[in-house]
């Protein structure tokens, strides 16, 4: 206790012990090495961009590529290998360097966090666009969008210049053949632009991507980059197909050309299948369809397998190599996620709250790390074998209890079915299940957790957390994280926190009962100034009965105090094993391609484009399974060894025989949890939060300092908060979003 009190009074960076004098030297060397790797990655990325920029140029681009292919054509990989090395090699090289950098970084450290008395400009956290089709866009994202648009315009202009030259020649000597040639060149150039877009398209949706981790962009934020790139890609691929359809109609050979599958050059039928699959995915991904018929969107989006396969059959191996790097990293990640999701995880506790929200608690290994604001993908086979749903993690990553929990609100068919099954399995709603009743009938598969590499919520002394409805779940993880760190005497910067929560009805207040703040951190008011402001929008007055009419129930497990835990294969798992998996898969691909060229393609003079494209894709898949699979196997064995050691250590600490005990015994029966005695709280009925007044009041009270604002809720809520943050920032002279799947963070 004395040690905890002493730690609480120490500065953010505690002094080093005598035996730790070598740590600064090691830390300095590691920081320098990461800096070198970072510079190297930027140089490789710059080379990749330059190659993309000069490729459309007739003179410089073609001369460079021709000279390079002549030099590399003598190798065993031939032209395909040379093009793959130039266009896809940089992506894989950056991935290798990122793996080394992440492993050098080791455990996440908070020592670089410091109190900033004056607000400063942050490109990643200043909202530039707050409404419109793109949603909330930060300054960094806006710069990236502009650069990519300039790149696309450059490519279009370069190809348009070539087309205009031929158009001018056609006007000088008009002929039907000349116009057909212009259309064909237009279609060819549009197809090249499609390949450039595809080089980027799959990078943002690689969930456990090492590239996203090294630049600390979480998957849920990167998903919308994939959406933007997808729209752009489908626009160009549609125009590409229309050019050739017009040509074939003018020639009167439309039907013959559509079904043509030639052994010499590009085959048309695979291209038609590729465009058809792409159009079906594109149409069903439009917001009206995706929001109302999400399952239709999800299932049709699995046609990406057909899209990629027939694209390789359509263009052949050497053209496919332009976009193969990003696609290969996606395939590597997809196989790893498939292996992780095969494991079923025991639900060791179920808590059903009166508001209809179900809390699920799973066991996790101690070496699985995550941050607050992380999320997981959840599948429950009793409900559906195909549906995966993302949920924010509501448990604290600093609790150290080897458990992870999510809150599932019944708002749709799948969640309603889950709540109904739980109710039928453990008694009618409102009855408390028997203490020894088992929840082992519910099993789940989990992917993740995914999220930021670093806990950015710990970088501010002053925080405003804005939630809408079930968006309070990740904020429970944030609050728990801060309180556990303060209780343990570890570095934790936040001192002032305001929670603004908008809900429809007061029964949702029971969500706060899933976290006992005073139990986590006694004397909370001495460590953290916490205010909770709740806005109940659809009730004008407090309910007459203070919540005694709808009591939730808890189901705990006697024989599954740990249960079958999650796998650490994906998400924020072991960087060494994941790096070995990626490296072995890439090396395996190069080995298989070399063997294929030496013993099959070159001796038998295989020149058919579509067949070579098929062999290229087969080598990609085979390398992931044959070379990456053994790494996953040994990774799994290592995981089982670590888990066995954890169980032995737990058994040694606790000599008592394991017996039934409830994981959650704090099911509150009143509208506001009474354990928040040291929390300043207020409930406003029949009103919505006025962010302009709230932010103005907070700025006057806290002064002109850094204030982090994190929003979790619908897009309308995010836009409203972002608009006020931008207005306050510009007015105060401080500029300053780290974005999430359904949450954004801003500076105020």
Please say if the pLDDT value at position 140 is more than 50: yes
- How confident is the model at residue 670, as a pLDDT? 39
Q: How far apart are CA 325 and CA 93, in angstroms?
A: 10
Please say if the pLDDT value at position 116 is more than 60: no
7 or 732, greater pLDDT: 732
Instruction: Calculate mean pLDDT across residues 61-85.
Output: 73
How does residue 156 score in pLDDT terms, banded at 50, 70 and 90? confident
- How confident is the model at residue 737, as a pLDDT? 35
Ranked by mean pLDDT, the top range of 16-25, 166-175, 708-717, 734-743 is 708-717
Q: What is the pLDDT of residues 238-258, one digit of tens each?
A: 999 999 999 899 888 889 889
How does residue 550 score in pLDDT terms, banded at 50, 70 and 90? very low
99 or 353, greater pLDDT: 99
Instruction: Calculate mean pLDDT across residues 401-430.
Output: 74
Smallest Cα–Cα separation from 230: which of 219, 218, 238? 238
- Range in 13-22, 70-79, 220-229, 706-715 the model is least confident about: 13-22
Domains and CATH numbers, the chain: 35-112+177-339 (no CATH), 344-428+440-542+552-556 (2.40.30.10)
Beta strands in 504-537 (DSSP E): 529-536
- Range in 287-291, 433-437, 449-453 the model is least confident about: 433-437
Instruction: Calculate mean pLDDT across residues 5-11.
Output: 38
Instruction: Calculate mean pLDDT across residues 270-295.
Output: 90
- Range in 265-269, 504-508, 524-528, 686-690 the model is least confident about: 524-528
Instruction: Calculate mean pLDDT across residues 418-424.
Output: 77
- How confident is the model at residue 6, as a pLDDT? 38
Q: What is the pLDDT of residues 553-609, one digit of tens each?
A: 555 443 345 567 777 776 655 678 888 999 999 999 999 999 998 899 888 888 889
Query: In sequence order, what are the residues at sequence separation of 6 or more whose Cβ sits closer than 8 angstroms to the Cβ of residue 500?
Result: 464, 465, 466, 467, 533, 535, 689, 694
How does residue 654 score in pLDDT terms, banded at 50, 70 and 90? low
Smallest Cα–Cα separation from 243: which of 268, 278, 260? 268
Ranked by mean pLDDT, the top range of 275-284, 503-512, 694-703, 730-739 is 275-284
Q: How far apart are CA 392 and CA 371, in angstroms?
A: 11
Q: What is the pLDDT of residues 300-329, one digit of tens each?
A: 999 999 999 999 999 988 899 999 999 999
Q: Mean of the per-residue pLDDT values for the chain?
A: 76
DSSP string, 498-516: EEEEEESSGGGGGGGGG--
- Tokens 């942050």, residue? 122
- How confident is the model at residue 329, as a pLDDT? 94
- Range in 5-14, 397-406, 469-478, 719-728 the model is least confident about: 5-14
- Range in 120-129, 367-376, 428-437, 625-634 the model is least confident about: 428-437
For residue 309, give Cα distances in angstroms to 285, 610, 621.
Answer: 20, 10, 11
What is the percent of the chain where pLDDT is above 90? 19
- How confident is the model at residue 233, as a pLDDT? 93
Q: Which two tokens stand for residue 41?
A: 């990655």
- How confident is the model at residue 114, as a pLDDT? 46
Is residue 533 within 8 A of residue 684, CB to CB? The reply is yes
- How confident is the model at residue 549, as a pLDDT? 43
- How confident is the model at residue 109, as a pLDDT? 47
Is residue 340 within 8 A of residue 569, CB to CB? The reply is yes
Using DSSP's 3-state secondary structure scheme, residue 475 falls into helix
Please say if the pLDDT value at position 444 is more than 90: no
Please say if the pLDDT value at position 4 is more than 50: no
- How confident is the model at residue 344, as a pLDDT? 82
- How confident is the model at residue 40, as a pLDDT? 94
Please say if the pLDDT value at position 360 is more than 60: yes
31 or 6, greater pLDDT: 31
Instruction: Calculate mean pLDDT across residues 168-173.
Output: 58
Instruction: Calculate mean pLDDT across residues 351-356.
Output: 76
Please say if the pLDDT value at position 734 is more than 50: no
- How confident is the model at residue 306, as a pLDDT? 95
Is residue 485 within 8 A of residue 12, CB to CB? The reply is no
- How confident is the model at residue 455, as a pLDDT? 77
Q: Is 599 exposed, middle or buried (0-12, 13-18, 19+ CB in 10 A)?
A: exposed
What is the percent of the chain where pLDDT is above 70? 75
């Amino acid at each position: 206790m004395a040690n905890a009190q002493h730690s609480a009074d120490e500065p953010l960076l505690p002094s080093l012990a005598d035996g730790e004098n070598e740590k600064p030297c090691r830390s300095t060397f590691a920081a320098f090495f990461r800096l070198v790797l970072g510079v190297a990655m930027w140089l490789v990325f710059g080379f990749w961009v330059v190659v993309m920029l000069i490729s459309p140029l007739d003179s410089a681009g073609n001369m460079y590529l021709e000279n390079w292919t002549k030099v590399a054509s003598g190798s065993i990989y031939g032209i395909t290998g040379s093009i793959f090395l130039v266009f896809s090699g940089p992506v894989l090289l950056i991935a290798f360097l990122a793996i080394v950098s992440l492993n050098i970084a080791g455990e996440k450290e908070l020592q670089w966090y410091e109190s900033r008395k004056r607000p400063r400009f942050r490109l990643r956290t200043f909202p530039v666009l707050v409404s419109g089709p793109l949603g909330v866009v930060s300054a960094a994202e806006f710069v990236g969008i502009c650069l990519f648009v300039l790149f696309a315009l450059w490519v279009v202009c370069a190809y348009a210049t070539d087309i205009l030259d031929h158009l001018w020649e056609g006007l000088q000597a008009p002929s039907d053949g000349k116009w057909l040639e212009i259309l064909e060149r237009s279609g060819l150039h549009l197809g090249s632009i499609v390949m450039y877009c595809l080089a980027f398209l799959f990078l943002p949706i690689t969930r456990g991507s090492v590239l996203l981790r090294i630049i600390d962009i979480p998957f849920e934020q990167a998903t919308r980059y994939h959406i933007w790139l997808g729209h752009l890609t489908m626009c160009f691929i549609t125009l590409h197909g229309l050019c050739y359809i017009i040509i074939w109609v003018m020639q009167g050979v439309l039907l013959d050309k559509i079904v043509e599958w030639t052994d010499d050059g590009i085959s048309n039928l695979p291209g038609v299948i590729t465009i058809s699959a792409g159009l079906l995915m594109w149409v069903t991904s439009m917001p009206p369809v995706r929001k109302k018929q999400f399952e239709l969107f999800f299932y049709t989006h699995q046609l990406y397998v057909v899209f990629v396969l027939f694209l390789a059959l359509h263009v052949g191996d050497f053209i496919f190599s332009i976009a193969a790097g990003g696609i290969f990293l996606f395939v590597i990640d997809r196989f790893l996620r498939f292996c992780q999701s095969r494991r079923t995880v025991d639900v060791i506790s179920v808590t059903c709250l009166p508001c209809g929200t179900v809390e699920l608690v799973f066991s996790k290994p101690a070496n699985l790390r995550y941050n607050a604001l992380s999320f997981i993908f959840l599948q429950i086979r009793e409900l559906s074998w195909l549906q995966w749903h993302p949920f924010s993690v509501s448990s604290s990553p600093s609790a150290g209890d080897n458990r992870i929990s999510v809150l599932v609100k019944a708002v749709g068919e799948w969640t309603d079915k889950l709540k109904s099954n739980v109710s039928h399995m453990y008694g009618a709603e409102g009855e408390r299940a028997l203490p020894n009743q088992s929840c082992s009938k519910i099993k789940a598969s989990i992917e993740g957790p995914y999220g930021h590499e670093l806990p950015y919520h710990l970088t501010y002394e002053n925080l405003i957390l804005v939630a809408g409805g079930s968006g309070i779940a990740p904020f429970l993880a944030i609050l728990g994280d801060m309180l556990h760190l303060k209780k343990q005497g570890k570095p934790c910067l936040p001192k002032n926190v305001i929670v603004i929560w908008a809900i429809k009805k007061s029964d949702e207040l029971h969500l706060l009962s899933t976290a006992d703040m005073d139990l986590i951190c006694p004397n909370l008011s001495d460590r953290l100034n916490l205010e909770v402001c709740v806005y109940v929008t659809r009730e004008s007055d407090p309910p007459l009965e203070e919540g005694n009419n709808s009591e939730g129930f808890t189901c705990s497990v006697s024989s599954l105090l740990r249960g079958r835990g999650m796998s650490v294969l994906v998400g924020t798992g072991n960087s060494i094993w994941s790096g070995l998996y990626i490296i072995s898969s890439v090396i395996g691909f190069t080995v298989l391609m070399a063997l294929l060229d030496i013993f099959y393609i070159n001796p038998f003079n295989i020149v058919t484009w579509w067949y070579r494209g098929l062999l290229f894709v087969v080598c990609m898949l085979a390398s992931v399974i044959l070379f990456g699979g053994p790494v996953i196997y040994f990774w799994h064995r290592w995981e089982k060894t670590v888990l066995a050691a954890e169980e032995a250590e737990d058994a040694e600490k606790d000599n008592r025989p394991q017996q039934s005990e409830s994981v959650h015994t704090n099911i509150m029966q009143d509208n506001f949890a009474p354990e928040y005695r040291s929390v300043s709280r207020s409930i406003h009925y029949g009103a919505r939060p006025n962010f302009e007044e709230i932010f103005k009041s907070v700025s006057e009270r806290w002064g002109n300092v850094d204030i982090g604002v994190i929003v979790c809720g619908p897009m309308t809520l995010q836009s409203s908060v972002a608009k006020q943050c931008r207005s306050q920032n510009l007015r105060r002279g401080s500029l300053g979003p780290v974005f999430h799947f359904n949450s954004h963070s801003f500076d105020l």
